[in-house]
Amino acid sequence: MYRERPAGFAGAVLWTSATTAGAAPTRVLPDGCLDLLWSSRSGLTVAGPDRTAHLSGGGPAERWVGLRLPPGTGPAVLGVPAVELRDRRVPLAELWGDRDVAQLAERAEAAPAEVLTEIVVRRLRAVGGPDPIGARVAAALAAGASVTETAAGTGLDPRALHRRCRHLFGYGPKTLARILRMRRALAMARAGTPLAEVAARCGYADQAHLTRDVRDLAGVPPTVLLPR
């Protein structure tokens, strides 16, 4: 069972999930985001930005509460570049130390959603908010702008944009654009747009190109990810 809702500050999503023992793993698609997580089994954890789909679950029963940070916000909250967390699941204590996290973890046992939100709001307030370039880059690429257009729109040269993207998102702008295009394409397809039209509107060469790209990033073709 998976549910999500706005987290109370711009762009963040609070989600909950509960799995039963031996349930089939859930395929989590890459999105350019970092998540701060609480698990009934592993406590406070950070999910770094993935380049390909991550399979979650499939083991003992577990309850999850997660706060998905808006793209580019993770480094301001966690204090480390996103690229250092890429394709990783890391105990929060590894980043902040056992003593501080132990106190948070004890409180999170009773009210995980409230504690995750409190952590993020407090950390963002302390650093003056996230790097505003992150939201601008993510919005431009999500809308279909090219990397060249995005660099020009943010006033950065291509090398500087690449460095900022690795810090903020965990990978360069080309990879981020590819991931965001896949998510835009799947959203259109789930709304009922035929795949051939989705491919044309999202800038793929054809439907076969769309299928290859989704398979590379998600591990399965788009038809597997659509409602049946």
| Surface-to-core class of residue 161, CB atoms within 10 Å of its CB (0-12 exposed, 13-18 middle, 19+ buried) | buried
Q: pTM for this structure?
A: 0.93
Q: What pLDDT score does 26 carry?
A: 87
Check pLDDT > 80 for residue 58. no
Give the pLDDT mean for 40-51: 96
d(C-alpha 58, C-alpha 25), whole Å: 5
Q: Mean pLDDT throughout 51-80?
A: 92
Q: What average pLDDT score do residues 19-45 get?
A: 91
63 close to 18: Cβ distance less than 8 angstroms: yes
Q: Over pLDDT 90: what percentage of the chain? A: 88
Q: pLDDT grade, residue 48 (50/70/90)? A: very high
Question: At 21, is the pLDDT very low, low, confident or very high (cuts 50, 70, 90)?
Answer: confident
Residue 20 pLDDT greater than 90, yes or no = no
Mean pLDDT of the chain: 94
| Predicted confidence (pLDDT) per residue in 207-218, tens digit | 999 999 999 999
pLDDT surpasses 90 at 8:
no
- Give the Cβ contact number of residue 56 at 10 Å: 16
pLDDT over 70, % of the chain: 100
Per the model's pLDDT, the better-predicted residue between 24 and 104 turns out to be 104
CA dist 135 and 185 (Å) reads: 20
- Using left for φ > 0, alpha for ψ between -120 and 50, and beta otherwise, residue 136 falls in alpha
Q: Measure Cα distances from 54 to 20, 28, 81, 133 in Å.
A: 18, 5, 20, 27
